[in-house]
């Protein structure tokens, strides 16, 4: 049975071999990354499931009712966190669902490990934070949700100033509850990425990042981009579904494109950054498709850029 190896992770991340820490290697060793590539009737069953989902799905990204859904979802995490005596495991976002079927290298795969997606993401996140976040004093996550990523950052860099922003209050309350319970240098703040608060200014020597939050803007990212250009953080890191990176003549990719478009996830973010680069306003440092994701789409693609001051 095939297994995702250290070399596979290096290739997926577009990493330098020397940038993979021993902690990353230990995590890869501890977790079960064996899998089966689905073929024949098994693959057909998955494709049929995806097609039925495409036909029946009624979720529209950016719809007004979505704010209540996010607010209630993060509030559920908040209550679970408090009722569990502040168990950090309660911060794992519920949209990272245990699932035996995921996508990898333009195939559908099945693993005996129901947490394959989460474990893969944890390896990626550990590498990403160690590789790109070390040099900055102030780190901001926009669309921070449960604070899941900020906790990991605080464990890696306890002396850095961390800020978590979200457009719903329950997320901010959760982030501040985490900071208080664990005495972390972390502050939460309300921030609407579609209508940015211009009084919320980024501090010097700052990095900003998003993980699956640009996708939720329904392509209304222009104001946020302008906010970043105005505030000039040293580095911008995005881990987002990026529809432009799929290959239209590959069936697995094509189905992801259709799902992305039907839901209304953000499109055009990468092309807009490329336009701004031609105008001399940005410098794109890295674009990397990980070739990894959940059943319906790839949510983990890496875009790194900086404003030109």
Q: Tens of pLDDT along 10-45?
A: 999 999 988 899 999 999 999 999 999 999 999 999
pLDDT band at 63 (very low <50, low <70, confident <90, very high): confident
Q: Tens of pLDDT along 127-152?
A: 999 999 999 999 999 999 999 999 99
pTM of model > 0.85 = yes
CB 263 within 8 A of CB 61: yes
pLDDT band at 96 (very low <50, low <70, confident <90, very high): confident
* Separation of alpha carbons 5 and 59, rounded Å: 36
Is the confidence at residue 275, as pLDDT, over 90?
yes
Comparison of pLDDT for 72 and 278, the residue scoring more: 278
Is the confidence at residue 258, as pLDDT, over 90?
yes
Is the confidence at residue 284, as pLDDT, over 90?
yes
Q: Is 111 exposed, middle or buried (0-12, 13-18, 19+ CB in 10 A)?
A: buried
Which among 142, 164, 122, 52 has a CA at the least distance from the CA of 292?
122
Per-residue tokens: 177: 């509850």
Amino acid 269: pLDDT: 98
pLDDT band at 93 (very low <50, low <70, confident <90, very high): confident
Amino acid 62: pLDDT: 75
Domain ranges of the chain: 6-60+92-143+191-307
* Separation of alpha carbons 210 and 218, rounded Å: 15
Which among 169, 292, 277 has a CA at the least distance from the CA of 225?
277
Amino acid 99: pLDDT: 74
In the predicted model, what is the mean pLDDT of the chain?
95
**Angle at the Cα of 13 from the Cα atoms of 309 and 102, rounded to 5 degrees:** 125
Out of 89-93, 242-246, 279-283, pick the least confident.
89-93
């Amino acid at each position: 049975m095939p297994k995702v190896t250290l070399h596979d992770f290096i290739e997926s991340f577009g990493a330098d071999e020397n940038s993979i820490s021993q902690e990353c290697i230990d995590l890869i060793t501890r977790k079960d990354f064996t899998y089966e590539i689905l073929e024949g009737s098994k693959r057909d069953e998955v494709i049929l499931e995806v097609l039925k989902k495409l036909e029946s799905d009624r979720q529209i990204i950016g719809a007004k009712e979505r704010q209540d859904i996010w607010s209630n979802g993060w509030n559920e995490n908040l209550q679970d966190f408090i009722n569990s005596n502040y168990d950090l495991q309660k911060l794992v976002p519920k949209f990272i669902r245990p699932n035996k079927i995921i996508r990898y290298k333009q195939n559908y795969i099945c693993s005996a490990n129901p947490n394959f997606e989460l474990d893969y993401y944890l390896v990626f996140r550990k590498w990403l934070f160690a590789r790109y976040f070390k040099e900055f004093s102030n780190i901001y996550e926009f669309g921070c949700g449960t604070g899941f990523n900020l906790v990991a950052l605080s464990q890696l860099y306890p002396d850095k100033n961390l800020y978590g922003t979200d457009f719903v209050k329950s997320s901010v309350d959760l982030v501040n509850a985490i900071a208080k319970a664990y005495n972390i240098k972390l502050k939460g703040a309300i921030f609407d990425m579609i209508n940015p608060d211009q009084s919320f200014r980024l501090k010097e020597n700052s990095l900003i990042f998003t993980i699956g939050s640009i996708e939720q803007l329904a392509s209304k990212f222009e104001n946020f981009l302008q906010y970043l250009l105005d505030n000039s953080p040293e580095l911008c890191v995005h881990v987002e579904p990026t529809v432009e990176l799929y290959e239209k003549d590959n069936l697995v990719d094509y189905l992801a494109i259709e799902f992305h478009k039907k839901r209304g996830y953000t499109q055009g973010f990468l092309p807009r950054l490329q336009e701004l680069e031609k105008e001399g306003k940005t410098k794109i440092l890295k674009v990397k498709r990980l070739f990894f994701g959940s059943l319906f789409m790839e949510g983990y693609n890496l875009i790194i850029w900086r404003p030109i001051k």
